Structures are given as structure tokens and as C-alpha cells.
Structure 1
Amino acid sequence: MKGQEWYQTAEVAEEYDTKRFSDGGRLIDEREKEAVLSAVGPVDDKRVLEIACGTGRFTTMLAQRGADIVGLDISPAMLQEGRKKARAAGVDDHLEFMRGDAARLPFPDDHFETVIAMRFFHLADTPASFLAELRRVARKQVVFDTFRRFSTRSIYNWLLPMGSRLYARAEIEELLDGAGLQLAGEEHDFFFPYGLYRQLPDAMATRVRELDDVIMDSPIGEYVASVSYWDARLQEE
């Protein structure tokens, strides 16, 4: 995975949410959570795994909705922040954070109804093998996001210190088929890249988001989106 050493430092973990999801970044956080909830539906008593859970944004949110959820991450510092967030939300007694490698998940086959991987595949050096491992432990569903090739993200990408892997739709379809998954739902959003929103104060970011929504609601929206949310299900035999 790209950027593993950077990602695991305590300094990055402590500032992660503030730098990415405050001010204009709040709009990204809200949209990503909306996309996850739309894909997974009701989660009460559903066994869920989130890989690369980071500070537990989605893990805690789904635990609050009744999911039986495990958040797995390679960074102890990120997991510590996740535990703080779960305690603050009052759900630390019915979720689990654990350290682990997404390439070798420590769970048996078909162990979870749903597996979630947000903000993961843009850093995956071998996406096919990672997706196959997610599918192995999923009994029904794998939900993940990717950054889109041929979008404003490709212009912004070179500015990032780690870079990001970008995907065309054909690549996603090939990856899903290779992992024994089929596409059940998809959403595409954000003409303007995430990095722009993070640089803007809340009021200005809200105005940019209004313009973004107009573009995304137009006939060209799907084709110029910088982010895609994929809802994949196991292929029927």
C-alpha cells in the first residue's frame, strides 16, 4: 500500500479528521456517509467489516445504527483515535477495532454480510488481490469507492504527496468480475476534487458544492464525476 509509513504516524492520526473533514471537508464526510448508508441499507444486527477504518468514521456511525461491526486498520494510532470516537459516541461496548492487514484478513470465509472499504482503493498497489480478499470474507456485499480517471481528480492528482490510483469504469468491471462480484448499484459525485473542498472555508465550500450539484445533476454528471461509490454483490452461481 502507498504511504503506509506516513499513514501510521501518531501526528497524522491525531490531525486526520480535522485536516480532512472540517470546514469544506465536512461536505465530503457527509456525502461519503450518505453513500455508505444508501448502499448497505438497514444494519441492525448485521455483521459488518470495515477495512482501512482509520479513525472510525463509518465504523462508529454504523455501530450507532445497530450493526455488529469490526473496524480493521494497519495503523495503531488511527485505531486509538477510532476508540476515542466510539467512546464519545457511547458505542465502544458493542464494536471492535483491531489491527490487521487487508491483504490477509484474519477471518473465515463468508464471515460478514457486508464489507466496506472507503478511501482504500486509491492507495492499493494490487487492487485485484485486495478485492478478492474482501470478497472472500463477505457473504453478500462489498461496498467501496474509487477516484475516477478522466476527471478533475487526474489534474489534481499530481499535487498529492503519495498520489492516488485512478480507475476507469472498465477497470472496475474487470476487477469485480475477477473477484466473483457483480455490480448492484453505483453513485458518482464531485466534479471538483476533494482537495479543493478541504482548502475552502465552510461558507465558500457550500457555494462551490451548489455549483457541483448542478453539474452532477446534468446529463454529463456521471461522465465528469471524480468519485464513484460501488455496491457489489456476490455473483449468482
Structure 2
Amino acid sequence: MKGQEWYQEDDIAEAYEDKRFSGGGRYIDRREKTAVLEALSPLEDRRILEVACGTGRFTVTLADRGADIVGMDISEAMLEQGRRKAAAAGVEGQLSFLQGDAGRLPFPDDHFDAVFAMRFFHLAPDPEGFIEEMRRVTRDQVFFDTFNRYSTRSIYNWALPMGSRLYSDREARELAVGAGLEIAAVEHDFVLPYGFYRAIPKRIASPFRAVDTAVGRTPLGDRLASVSYWDARLP
């Protein structure tokens, strides 16, 4: 996987959320959590796997809302941050974190009600293989996001330390269909790329986000969006 060594360094894990979700990045965090919660709800007693859970942003949030959830990541440093977050939230007994390879999920077929991955497929060297594994271990739902090829994301994509794979709408749909899934719903957002929001304070980001959202509601919104959230189901 691109930038795998960089991603697993301790200092990257410690600073991961501050660099991405402080200031204007809070709008990214809020939108992503809304997308996940809306797609996976109702959560009570639902068995869920998060692939590439990182520091447990979503894992802890879903555990706090009643999900029976496992967070898996390749980076032990990221998982340690997740464990600390779970302890701080008082939900450490309601979830588990596991170090593992997304290409070989250590679970039997149909083990989970839902499997999801955020900020993952833009890094995946074998997206077809990974989504097939996700489909294998779920009995119902796979939820994931993609960064879009024909968007403002492409302007700075080359400069990212982990690289980034961009998808057209057709490629993302084919990814799901090729794994035997059907697209139940898709949402598009962020005409302005994530990197823009991360670079500015929240008070400055607020009016930009308002304009961004307004443009997203127009007929051009879906075509200009830099990120898409895909809700795929077993037929």
C-alpha cells in the first residue's frame, strides 16, 4: 500500500487528527461522521467491521451508539491512539481493535452485518481484491468513500505523501458491482477539496463551506464534487 511505512510511524499517528480535523478540517470530520451514521443506522447491537480504522474516529463513535464493532488497521500506532480514545469515551469494553491486513480479513464469511472503510480506497493497490474481502465477510452492507478523478482533488493529488488514487463515477460503480454488490445510494460532496479546509481556520472555513454546500445542491454539484460516499448492498 502506498506510503505504508510513513503511515505507521508513531509521530504520524499522534498528530494525525490534529492535522486533518482541527480548524476547517472539523467540517470534514462532521460530514464524514454524518455519512457513516446515516448509512449504517440503526446501530444498536449491529455487528460492524471498520477496515482501516486509523485512530478510531468512527469506531469509537459507533460503539458509543450501541454498535458491536471491530476496528482493524495495519498500524499499531494508530490503533493505540484508538484505544486511548475509547478509554477516554468510556466505551473500551464495547469494541475491539485488531491489527491486520485488509487484503486478508481474519473473519469467516458473512460474519458482520456491515463493513465500512473511510479514507481507504484512494490508497488501495488492489481495490478489487479489498472490496471482495469486505463483501465476503458481510451478510448485508459495504460502505466506502472515493476521491473523484474529475474534481479539484486532482490539483494537488500528486503532492500527498501517501499518494492517492482517484476514481471516476463509472470506476467506483464497477468496483462495487464487480464484487457482487448493488449500489443502494450514493452522495457526493465537497466541491472544494479536503486540503483546502485543512489549511484554514474554522471561522474562515465556515463561509466557504456554506458556498460549497450551496453549489453542491445545484445540477453541477455532483459533477464537481471531490468525494463520494457509496452505500452498497448484497443483492
State the TM-score, normalized to the length of structure 1.
0.98
1:229 is aligned to 229
Give the corresponding residue for 1:130. 130
**After superposition, what is the alpha-carbon deviation per residue over 1:103-125, rounded to whole angstroms, capped at 9, x for unaligned?**
00000000000001000000001
TM-score (norm 2): 0.99
Report Cα offsets for 1:7-35 as digits up to 9, x if no partner: 00100000001000001111000000000
Match of 1:97 in 2: 97
CA-CA distance at 1:177 after TM superposition:
1.4
What is aligned with 2:165? 165
Per-residue deviation, 1:226: 0.2
Matched residue of 1:93: which SS? Answer: helix
2:3 aligned residue: 3
Q: 1:119 — aligned with what?
A: 119
1:176 to partner: Cα distance? 1.2
Sequence identity percentage: 63
Where does residue 152 of structure 1 map in the other structure? Answer: 152
Q: Conserved in 1, the CA contact under 8 Å of 2:6 and 2:162?
A: no
One-letter amino acid of the counterpart of residue 173, structure 2: E
8 Å Cα contact 2:181-2:233 kept in structure 1: yes
Q: Is the 8 A contact 2:3 2:163 kept in 1?
A: no
How far the C-alpha of 1:178 sits from its partner, in A, is: 1.1
Aligned residue number for residue 175 of structure 1 = 175
Unaligned stretches of 5+ in structure 2? Answer: none
Report SS of the residue matched to 2:146: strand
Measured after TM superposition, the shift of residue 162 of structure 1 is: 2.5
Q: Is the 8 A contact 2:114 2:138 kept in 1?
A: yes
1-structure distance, mates of 2:213, 2:9: 36
Say if 2:4 and 2:162, in contact at 8 Å, map to a contact too: no
Residue 173 (structure 1) shift: 1.7
TM-align CA RMSD: 0.7
**Is 1:156–1:193's contact at 8 Å kept on the other side of the alignment?**
no
